Structure 1
Amino acid sequence: MSRYAVYAIPGVDEGAEAEAIRLRDAVEAWYRRDELQELTIDARRYGFHATLVAPIRLADGRTEAQLRTAADVFAAARPPLVIPGVRPATIGHFRALVPQGDHEGGEYEGGDHEALHALAAAAVQEFDDFRAPLDESDIRRRRPERFTPRQRELFERWGYPYVLDEFRFHLTLTDPVPPERADEIDSALEEHFAAIVGIDVPLTAIAISVEPTPGAPFELLSVHPFADRSALETA
C-alpha cells in the first residue's frame, strides 16, 4: 500500500526563486557524492525535503485525489515563507540543514522560525483526517520505548512523535553518521555548503511525495504553491 508525505521542498515549484534552486541543487549534488553513498541511503530514498506530515497510509474512504485537493486549499491560504540563514547542523546522529537561530529542543528565534513552526503544526492537524491508524508493524518500527513521555503522547495522537512542540525544521543530509566518521563528514559538509551557508531561502510551495510500494524511493507526486502575498492582502 502506498504512503504519502507532505513536504516542504525549496526550489521544487515553477516559481521558485534563485536561492531555493541553489539550495536544492547543492543538496542533490551532496547526495550524488560517491564517498557518501552508504551514509545517504535513507536520505536519498526519502528525497530532499523538510517533513511537514510524516509518511501516512490513507484512511478508509480517502483518496489520493482528495489529498491533492486538500493540499491545494491548504497552500492557497498561506503566503510564501523564508528559511532564514540555512546552515549544517547535527541532529541526533545525523546531519541536516537548519535555519539560523535554531536550537536543540525546538526553540525558535524570530518570526521566520515561528512561521515555519506554525506551517508544520497546521499541516499535521489539517491533514490528520487523511491518516490511517497505525498498525502494529508501524508502532514496532518507530520503537516507542525510546520516546520521552511527551513524544509518546504525540505519537499516539498524531502518529508521529516529532510534531507541534517537538517539531524541529530540518532538511536531512545524511543517515546516522558513525562517530569515527564524524570529523570527515562535518568537514565535507563545511566545504560542500560553503557557498550557501547563511542565505535566506524562500519557501514558495508545499509538495506531496509518494512511496508507491513499501521500501521504494519516494517520488514527487504534486506541487502546491502558496498564494501570492499581495493576493492574500487584497482578499
Structure 2
Amino acid sequence: MRFRRYAVYHLPGGALGDFGSAWLGWDARHGLVHLRPDGLPPEAETLTEVPRRYGFHATLKAPFRLAEGRRPEELALALRLACDHLAPFALELEPRIDWGFLALRPRLQPPELLALESALVTRLDAFRAPLTGAERDRRNPDALPPQARAHLDHWGYPFVLDMFQYHLTLSNQLAPPLAEALRLALAPHLAPLIARPMPVEAVALMGEAEDGFFHLVEDLPLRG
C-alpha cells in the first residue's frame, strides 16, 4: 500500500487496545473498520469522527511527508535502530478532559517516556519534508504560545519535547457538558482496563493511506 504520510505512534495492546479501536470504529493495527460492542453510548459515530481515522493511539512523532530522496525502508531502519536504545516502561492512566477532548492520560510522565518521545522527534526529523505554507497554517500558528510556534517551525509540530503530553484521544472536541457526560458514560468501561499500569513495550510505524486512514506498517519493540 502507498502512503502519503508517515508517523510514529504508540498503539495500546490487549483489552484496552481492543476497546479503543471498537469505540473509535477503526482498527489501525489490522486496517479494519471495527464494530462497536453493545453497551457503549450510541452517539459514538458523531463523537469520534475526528480521531477515528488515526486509530486508538498516542502520537510520538506526528504525521509527516517523507523528505525528497528518502525511502520508507530507510525510515523504518532508523526507527528500529533508535528503539534498540530505548527502554520499555509502564503508565498509570486516567481519563481527563483537556481543551474539550476526552482522553486517557498518564498520572505522571516517567523519564523513559520523555526520552522516547524526544529521541523519535529529533532522530527521525531528517526524514521529514518541510511544512508547506498550507500545512503550517492549519496549525493556526498565531494562536499558539511562542514556544509551541517555535517547535512548529523547527520540528513540524507544536507540542513536542518540553510541551509533549502523552494522550490517547477518545473524542472530538466537545462542549464541556457533553465531554463530562461522555467521561461518565465511558468510566465503567474504562475502569477495569486501566486498573493496572499499561505497558509500553513497542512503538508503531504508521502510514496514512489516500483515504486519510492510518495503518500499521511495522511494530518495533523497545530493546533498551
Identify the TM-score tier after normalising by the shorter chain.
0.7 to 0.9
How many residues of Structure 1 are paired with residues of Structure 2 in the alignment?
A: 207
Deviation of 1:79 after TM superposition, in Å, equals 2.4
Q: AA paired with 2:221?
A: P
Q: AA paired with 1:30?
A: W
Q: AA paired with 1:10?
A: P
Instruction: State the match for 1:8 in structure 2.
Output: 10
State yes or no: 1:223 paired with 2:216: no
Alpha-carbon displacement from aligned partner over 1:40-92 (angstroms, at most 9, x marks no partner): 11211011111010000000111111111111111122222212x21111121
Instruction: State the match for 2:32 in structure 1.
Output: none
Query: Residues 1-235 of structure 1 correspond to what in structure 2 (within 5 A)?
Result: 2-11=4-13, 21-31=14-24, 32=36, 33=40, 34-83=42-91, 85-101=92-108, 108=109, 113-213=110-210, 215-227=211-223
Deviation of 1:198 after TM superposition, in Å, equals 3.6
Deviation of 1:30 after TM superposition, in Å, equals 2.3
Q: AA paired with 2:51?
A: A
Q: AA paired with 2:23?
A: W
Instruction: State the match for 1:17 in structure 2.
Output: none
**What is the distance in 2 between the residues matched to 1:148 and 1:182?**
25
**What is the distance in 2 between the residues matched to 1:79 and 1:154?**
25
Alpha-carbon displacement from aligned partner over 1:178-207 (angstroms, at most 9, x marks no partner): 234123212112122021234211111111
Q: Describe the SS at the equivalent of 1:6.
A: strand
Runs of 5+ consecutive residues of structure 2 not aligned to the other structure: 25-35
- What is the aligned-residue identity percentage? 39
Q: Spell out structure 1 runs of 4+ moving beyond 4 A.
A: none
Runs of 5+ consecutive residues of structure 1 not aligned to the other structure: 12-20, 102-107
- The structure carrying a bigger strand percent of its residues is 2
**Does the 8 A contact of 2:51 with 2:172 survive in 1?**
yes
- The structure carrying a bigger helix percent of its residues is 1
**Does the 8 A contact of 2:16 with 2:194 survive in 1?**
no
Deviation of 1:175 after TM superposition, in Å, equals 1.2
Deviation of 1:38 after TM superposition, in Å, equals 0.8
- The TM-score, its normalising length taken from structure 2, stands at 0.87
The two structures, once aligned, show a CA RMSD in angstroms of: 1.5
Instruction: State the match for 1:105 in structure 2.
Output: none
Higher RCO, 1 or 2 (CA under 8 Å, sep at least 6)?
1
